[in-house]
């Protein structure tokens, strides 16, 4: 078992992270890991087995996983903190083994009701919807329960899966009348713990009424972490604003301007209010755009330098050490379950 209570989350291998993902998800997560690592064990893992529940290009997968891990390091994930653990799901076979056992206690009906399954399977253009997609929540429950995680920071789209992890843990604990699994905290306790709703949403540069999202096909409204700094600056300079001719987000509906102020604040490490106070009342938008373009291009140059200088040998050494430790912890839990179900004595 881990020595301290556990915070655990899976970081999906996602190729094209944009500044919304970075400032809205990745950076807060890494900050959280750093600030909580005295009191908690922090498990951050790549759910690589989950990444082909819908079809992907398998020739890219391995590189993508390593690229993502490098992104986390470039974003500030420390490799020398003994309480922050990073690992790849598929390197710990207990995830798959526990999934099978949990499968046999899971109802077909309850999986069929999972909204992510319903949404994704309805949208899938492939000629088959995989059993892996159906089974996704069970593997996710195994991810959580193997390490006795109490807190699991996830987006709203994953709360139903978290509830399922609690249900299946309770079910087995009751059925075998022993505390096989630690129950993850309820969703409302999680929200209280993580301070629900930092609510940050960077908007699309072309249509600032929508959030910046990689599902936007044209890519013109999105700044990706891998964009050339100059190209990103161009996207900022052509961002949609409005025709009021005066910056005053308190009086006017200025979604585009508000977004630019937000991006400027994030990229320069200032507060929104500081940046707002600087530009409030300006009658030209050009200087604001120039400042944001400059800040984003500096931010990207800096980030890309950090990414290029990630020490792969150090990253791999950390991964391997953590994976060894995680195998021990996960196997202990698995063994308890195997004994309970009669596979071991
Ligand atoms: P996308 O919409 O680009 O597909 P995801 O749904 O994969 O992004 O989200 C990954 C994470 O990034 C989530 O935690 C989500 O809350 C965060 N996120 C996504 N878009 C934004 C955004 N525009 N602003 C802030 N955070 C975002
Ligand atoms: N399903 C999560 C997502 O889409 C990723 C994930 C997989 C996860 N296993 C997990 C998150 C276990 C938390 C705990 O974001």
Kindly state whether residue 183 falls inside one of the protein's structural domains. Answer: yes
Residue 87 lies in a domain: yes
pLDDT tens figures, 9-66:
998 867 779 999 999 999 999 999 999 999 999 999 999 999 999 999 999 999 999 9
User: Does the pLDDT value for residue 127 go beyond 90?
Assistant: no
Q: What is the mean pLDDT of residues 90-102?
A: 98
In the predicted model, is pLDDT for residue 101 greater than 90? Answer: yes
> Is residue 91 situated within a structural domain?
yes
Considering only CA atoms, which residue is closest to atom 15 of ligand 2?
12
Can you tell me the distance from the alpha carbon of 139 to that of 152, in angstroms, rounded to the nearest whole number?
15
- Is 259 inside any structural domain? no
| Active-site residue flag, 210 | no
Nearest residue by C-alpha to atom 8 in ligand 2: 10
pLDDT, tens digit (0-9, with 9 covering 90-100), for 261-306: 999 999 999 999 999 999 999 999 999 999 999 999 999 999 999 9
Query: 179 in a domain, yes or no?
Result: yes
User: pLDDT over 70 for what percent of the chain?
Assistant: 99
Residue 10, ligand 2, Cβ within 6 A: yes
User: What are 157-168's pLDDT values in tens digits?
Assistant: 999 999 999 999
Band of residue 199 on the pLDDT scale cut at 50, 70, 90: confident
The CATH number linked to 117 is 3.40.50.620
Helices (H), the chain: 19-21, 27-36, 58-74, 94-103, 108-112, 115-123, 131-145, 159-175, 187-194, 229-237, 255-268, 272-279, 286-308, 312-340
Q: State the average pLDDT over residues 312-332.
A: 98
Collect all residues with Cβ–Cβ distance below 8 Å to 263 and sequence separation of at least 6: 19, 202, 236, 292, 295, 296
pLDDT at 209: 95
pLDDT (mean) for 326-331:
98
Q: Does any domain span residue 12? A: yes
Q: Give distance in angstroms: CA of 189 to centre of ligand 1.
A: 22
Domain total in the chain: 1
Task: Give the tens place of pLDDT for each residue, 58-76.
Answer: 999 999 999 999 999 999 9
Tell whether 333 is covered by a domain. Answer: yes
For residue 61, what are the domain limits?
Answer: 6-198+312-340
CB 44 within 8 A of CB 9: yes
Which pLDDT does position 215 carry in this prediction?
A: 80
CA of 107 to the centre of ligand 1 (A): 31
Quick one: pLDDT at residue 90? 98
Q: Ligand 2 within 6 A of 140 CB?
A: yes
Of 82-96, 141-155, 195-209, 326-340, minimum mean pLDDT range = 195-209
Residue to mutate (ligand 1; options 11, 16, 20; most atoms within 8 A of CB)? 20
Per-residue confidence (pLDDT) for residue 198, from 0 to 100: 62
Return the ligand number nearest the Cα of 10.
2
pTM, to two decimals: 0.93
Residue at 96 is within a domain: yes
């Amino acid at each position: 078992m881990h020595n301290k209570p556990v915070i655990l989350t899976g970081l999906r291998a996602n190729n094209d992270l944009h500044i919304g993902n970075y400032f809205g998800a990745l950076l807060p997560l890494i900050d959280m890991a750093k600030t909580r690592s005295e009191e908690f064990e922090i498990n951050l893992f790549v759910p690589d087995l989950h990444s082909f529940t819908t079809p992907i290009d398998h020739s890219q997968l391995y590189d993508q996983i390593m690229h993502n891990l490098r992104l986390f390091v470039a974003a500030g994930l420390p490799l020398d903190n003994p309480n922050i653990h990073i690992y790849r799901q598929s390197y710990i076979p207990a995830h798959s083994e526990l999934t099978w056992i949990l499968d046999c206690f899971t109802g077909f009906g309850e999986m069929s009701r999972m909204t992510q399954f319903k949404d994704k399977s309805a949208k899938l253009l492939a000629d088959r919807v995989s059993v892996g997609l159906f089974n996704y929540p069970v593997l996710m429950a195994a991810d959580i329960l193997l390490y006795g995680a109490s807190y699991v920071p996830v987006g709203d789209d994953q709360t139903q899966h978290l509830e399922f992890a609690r249900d299946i843990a309770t079910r087995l604990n009751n059925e075998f009348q022993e505390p096989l699994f630690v129950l993850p905290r309820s969703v409302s306790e999680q929200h209280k713990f993580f301070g629900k709703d930092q609510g940050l949403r960077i908007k699309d540069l072309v249509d600032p009424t929508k959030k910046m999202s990689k599902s936007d096909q044209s890519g013109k409204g999105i700044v990706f972490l891998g964009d050339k700094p100059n190209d990103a600056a161009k996207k900022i300079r052509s961002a949609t604003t409005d025709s009021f001719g005066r910056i005053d987000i308190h009086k006017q509906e200025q979604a585009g301007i508000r977004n630019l102020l937000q991006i400027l604040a994030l990229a320069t490490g200032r507060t929104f209010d500081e940046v707002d106070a600087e530009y409030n009342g300006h009658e030209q938008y050009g200087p604001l755009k120039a400042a944001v373009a400059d800040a984003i291009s500096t931010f990207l140059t800096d980030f890309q330098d950090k990414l290029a200088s990630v020490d792969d040998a150090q990253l791999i050494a950390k991964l391997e050490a953590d994976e060894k430790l995680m195998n021990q912890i996960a196997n202990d839990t698995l063994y308890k379950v195997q004994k309970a179900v009669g596979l071991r004595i």
